[in-house]
Amino acid sequence: MNLLIVDDDLTNLKLLRTQLESEGHAVFEAHDGVEALALLERQRVDAVISDILMPRMDGYRLCHEIRQHVRLHDLPIIIYSSTYTAPEDEKLSLNMGANKYLEKPASVETIIAALYEVIAQPQAAPRPDAQREVEVLKEYNERLISKLKEKNTELQAAEVKFRSLVEQSIVGIYIIQDDQFVYVNPRMAGIFGRSEEEMTSRTLYDFVVPEEHALVRENIRKRISGKVPSIHYHLRMLHQSGAVLQVEVHSSRMEYNGRPAVMGTLLDITERKRAEERIQKGLKLETALRRIDEKILEGANFLEALDTACDATVEMGYRMCWVGQAMPDHTVCPVASKGFNPGFLENIDFRWDDSPEGQGPTGISIRTGQPCVIQNIGESSFYAPWRGIALEHGCLSSASFPLKSPGGGSRGSSACLRRPYRCIRRRGNWPADDVCPAVHDRPPELPAAGGTARHDPAPGLPYRADAPGVH
């Protein structure tokens, strides 16, 4: 037999087609009543199996149109539905002109038996007279309205459940349209420290660090254009306080109010990134310490060990490192260094007495035996004697760490960095007296004179030379 199957669900079409073809029948497909009528104008078939709920023209209306057609009015029709399953639906199907009603899913044996049953009938369902047709159409309209109300109620209930899930989600959920958030859930607003009204009243790029604007713009373009269905990436965004957030974004294209938009989820991974950085710094530190230990075990003299320490420290990511020896005349003599520009150490007078030159982090660490941090060289009065040359060489902050030997000698270390300073300290003794190793981190580009570093607390450091009330 030549059979026409009508359904807007591609999975249902494929399954039914496979069942019928396995029984040796030729199968034609349509996705709604409009397509079915067009196909019937050019293709002869022995029967029609149709769903009810379809766009443009449903199964009820298809039955009616076939029964009104001059040539097709005797064509056998089976209504096959999983949505309209009430007794009233079956009654209406038969009144609209169907020969048989089946509820999905049905076995292939049931479907084939129904086909032979309707084809064997002497004639198709009779066309109703004018009065009866009015009654049938009224019944159809009432049933359709009833079903629409039922579906609307189901959709409203589903929307309430969906909104509840979204509103209570532990990840940020958003919709972007025309480079603006048109919806954010409470968690999304909370991540940025803002209200939902603030988030949806400003352009998207107000919340993105400037360096990431091009990346965000391109990724949105790819999704809106359909070039990529979904995307996953990391970027930096801005908290209400001005702090930089590391976020992870998953998003895809959607339709919102009839127009293309991007819907996605956002996760704040700032703490995770910091933990990863701490782990990486810890691994680098362990590697540096292992190199120093190996050098000592190889029988290197003390100065060779210090050179290795400076080299390993710079490899950890610091830009500069030096070691100085505390001399009896209260000067500090560099004995090892790594990463310095020519003329830097030679033009600086380091001391560990009470003179202005002894008030820097190196002098303080040697005198007190405790670490000392200068967070902002550009503003700290304790770095005044060396501020000009330090800024010229790109040093923005400095830290000094004492290294004590069994004989009581002290050593210190200083770091100059562009970003907030965080320290990792190792407990233990060094094998020589009166030596001060120092670490400096120099930014890739020299800042303008008077440039400042961002302030960041350095927990556990007793001396903060730029902290109010310390000195």
Lowest mean pLDDT among 69-73, 165-169, 325-329, 446-450: 446-450
* pLDDT score recorded for residue 432: 34
Say what the pLDDT of residue 402 is. Answer: 76
Angle at 87 between CA 82 and CA 88, to 5 degrees: 100
Query: Do 172-268 and 273-464 come out as alike in CATH topology?
Result: yes
131 pLDDT above the threshold of 70: no
pLDDT tier for residue 138 given thresholds of 50, 70 and 90: low
User: What would the mean pLDDT of 148-177 be, rounded to a whole number?
Assistant: 76
What is the Cα–Cα distance from 364 to 240, expressed in whole angstroms?
Answer: 38
> What are the φ/ψ torsions at residue 313 (nearest 5 degrees)?
-65, -40
For residue 394, the model assigns a pLDDT of 76
- Range in 161-170, 277-286, 317-326 with the lowest mean pLDDT: 161-170
For the domain covering 172-268, report its CATH number.
3.30.450.20
What is the domain class of 273-464 according to CATH? alpha beta
In this structure, of 143-152, 343-352, 386-395, 448-457, the range with the lowest mean pLDDT score is 448-457
In this structure, of 279-288, 332-341, 433-442, the range with the lowest mean pLDDT score is 433-442
**Residue 50, beta-bridge partner list:** 6, 79
Who has greater pLDDT, 75 or 387? 75
pLDDT of 453 over the 80 cut = no
Q: Would you state the pLDDT for residue 248?
A: 93
2-16, 161-175, 405-419: the lowest-pLDDT one: 405-419
- Per-residue confidence at 109, pLDDT binned at 50, 70, 90? very high
Per-residue pLDDT band at 147 (split at 50, 70, 90): low
For the chain, the domains span 2-148, 172-268, 273-464
Six token digits for residue 79: 């209504």
Return the closest-CA partner of residue 284 out of 439, 390, 443, 462: 439
Among 116-125, 138-147, 188-197, 251-260, the range scoring the smallest mean pLDDT is: 138-147
Yes or no: say if 5 and 13 are a contact pair by the CB < 8 Å rule.
yes
Average pLDDT of the chain, as a whole number = 78
- Report whether pLDDT(382) > 60: yes
- Reported residue count of the chain is 471
What are 30-59's pLDDT values in tens digits? 999 999 999 999 999 999 999 988 888 888
pLDDT beyond 70 at 454 = no
CATH topology of domain 2-148: Rossmann fold (3.40.50)
Q: What is the pTM of this model?
A: 0.47
Please say if the pLDDT value at position 206 is more than 60. yes
Q: What is the pLDDT of residue 403?
A: 67
Residue 280 has pLDDT above 50, yes or no: yes
pLDDT at residue 146 greater than cutoff 80: no
CA distance 377 to 441: 13
Q: What is the mean pLDDT of residues 397-412?
A: 62
pLDDT for the residue numbered 135: 65
Question: Does pLDDT of 319 surpass 80?
Answer: no
Return the pLDDT at 145. Answer: 64
